[in-house]
Amino acid sequence: MLKLHFVKNTRAERIAWLLEELNLPYELNKLEFTQDSLKSGTHRKRHPLGRIPVLEDGDVRIFESGAITQYILARHKNGGLQPAVDSPVFPEYLQWFHFSEGMVMPPMNIIVVQKILLPPDRRDPVALAQAQKLLGKALTPLEEVLEGREYLVGDFTAADIMLGHAIYQAGQLMDQSSPNLQAYRERIAARPAFAKILAMR
Amino acid sequence: MLKLHFVKNTRAERIAWLLEELNLPYELNKLEFTQDSLKSGTHRKRHPLGRIPVLEDGDVRIFESGAITQYILARHKNGGLQPAVDSPVFPEYLQWFHFSEGMVMPPMNIIVVQKILLPPDRRDPVALAQAQKLLGKALTPLEEVLEGREYLVGDFTAADIMLGHAIYQAGQLMDQSSPNLQAYRERIAARPAFAKILAMR
């Protein structure tokens, strides 16, 4: 059975959400977001840097949420979540899939470090402000794309899991919002598969 | 014909390198890494944030280097650069493909900003040191993976373009190096397709 090494409020939620959308059976190994848990010898054997998610599938062990998503869709079940290569929305699907780690997550990482992970006396307000400005810029084209659309390329796809999860988390860190992004966040959080993951303890 | 909007020393080199490896004809639109060039109305119509690379292919316009790479391999030519889904190296191929933007490029972006883009009086040595430490950590597993291997998953694949380009650029920004990574950098830079892009003015 697929085994997912998981921490709440991290990119591992993307994979759990995907597995729920696809209705694939899986085992969840819930870890804590602590040095003891993630930087242990046990977990470093799964990921040399002690990160999550990691997926195990028989002899296969794989990390990076984008890679795991592609792997599951290709090896296990597509479920209509990845447009066919000749579909008119295939290029845009790929674009938003990769926009998540390419443009949205780099400033998000900095914001999480500066607002949550660092002790107050080591925080850097200049770095935080720059990252917030960058994140705002990265979200702007998405507000436009979602005008009149339910999901990023029309129908729900794995791009809504990769980038949608980043947008969802950004909404929890940003003060201002935009109507299409806000409606989109509510729409994805209301999907039973994502709602189940969000409600998990 | 494929048209690639390009700036030297950026992720756009990945796409030019890929197109050369595949021997696909393409037109290059060389831009400058300046506000005037990238933040112009003309270029913002191609990418709302004024970034590169952007690929145009008839009616299709697509950005994000990972997305463009997948698009070219799927729609135009595989050239043996993407392992088949049932290949034993398929999971590791995906993993290293995504490790580029997931783990290596976020600290790289900060280092480029802090070492090159910001005027000296606005640089932050703490942010630079943290990013250098993170980059060093991200490269450590790659030094191990390349032990006894010519390329990331054995044979040359598009993961060597996505992550190899990041490793190549990291080598220009890092003081210390490691023997396998150094040999790997020289190996990819000696490939005629990448050498042609690196020699371009």
Neighboring chain A residues of B98 at a CB cutoff of 8 Å: 64-67, 70, 101
Section A118-139 average pLDDT: 92
Domain final residue, candidates B24, B48, B79? B79
Provide the CA A21 distance to its chain's centre, in angstroms: 14
- Which CATH number characterizes residue A50's domain? 3.40.30.10
Domain final residue, candidates A79, A102, A126? A79
**Pair B53, B4: CB distance under 8 Å:** yes
Q: How far is CA B3 from each of CA A192, B23, B72, rounded to the nearest angstrom? A: 42, 14, 12
CB contact under 8 A, B94 and A67: yes
Structural domain contains residue A200: no
Structural domain contains residue B198: no
Structural domain contains residue A198: no
List all residues 6 or more positions away from B134 whose beta carbon is below 8 Å from its beta carbon. B106, B107
CB contact under 8 A, A75 and B63: no
Structural domain contains residue A197: no
**B47 & B134 share domain:** no
Half-sphere exposure of B88 (CA within 13 A, CB side): 3
**B147 & B98 share domain:** yes
CB contact under 8 A, B67 and A109: no
Q: B72-125: per-residue pLDDT in tens?
A: 999 999 999 999 999 999 999 999 999 999 999 999 999 999 998 899 998 988
**B95 & B169 share domain:** yes
**Pair B63, B7: CB distance under 8 Å:** no
Question: Tell me, what's the pLDDT at B180?
Answer: 96
**A20 & A60 share domain:** yes
Q: How far apart are the CA of B83 and the nearest CA of chain A, in angstroms?
A: 12
B148 pLDDT above the threshold of 90: yes
**B94 & B182 share domain:** yes
Q: Which of A15, A44, A64 to mutate to test the interface with B (most CBs of B within 10 A)?
A: A64
Structural domain contains residue A199: no
- Per the listing, tokens 């756009």 go with B12
**B136 & B73 share domain:** no
List all residues 6 or more positions away from A144 whose beta carbon is below 8 Å from its beta carbon. A180, B48
Section A119-145 average pLDDT: 93
Q: B168-185: per-residue pLDDT in tens?
A: 999 988 876 799 999 999
Q: Which domain holds residue A22?
A: 2-79
Highest mean pLDDT among A174-178, A191-195, B116-120: A191-195
**A74 & A100 share domain:** no
- Which CATH number characterizes residue A126's domain? 1.20.1050.10
A190 pLDDT above the threshold of 90: yes
Q: A29-58: per-residue pLDDT in tens?
A: 999 988 889 989 999 999 999 999 999 999
**B42 & B98 share domain:** no
**B105 & B187 share domain:** yes
Structural domain contains residue B84: no
Domain final residue, candidates A79, A101, A131? A79
Helix ranges (DSSP H) in A47-121 = 65-75, 90-99, 105-112
Report how many domains make up chain A.
Answer: 2
Nearest CA in chain A to B144: A48
Name beta bridge partners: B175: none
**B95 & B186 share domain:** yes
The A residues from 159 to 198 touching B (CB cutoff 8 Å) are none
Name beta bridge partners: A186: none
> How many contacts, defined by CB atoms under 8 Å, are there between A and B?
109
**Pair A115, A135: CB distance under 8 Å:** no
**B105 & B71 share domain:** no
**B74 & B96 share domain:** no
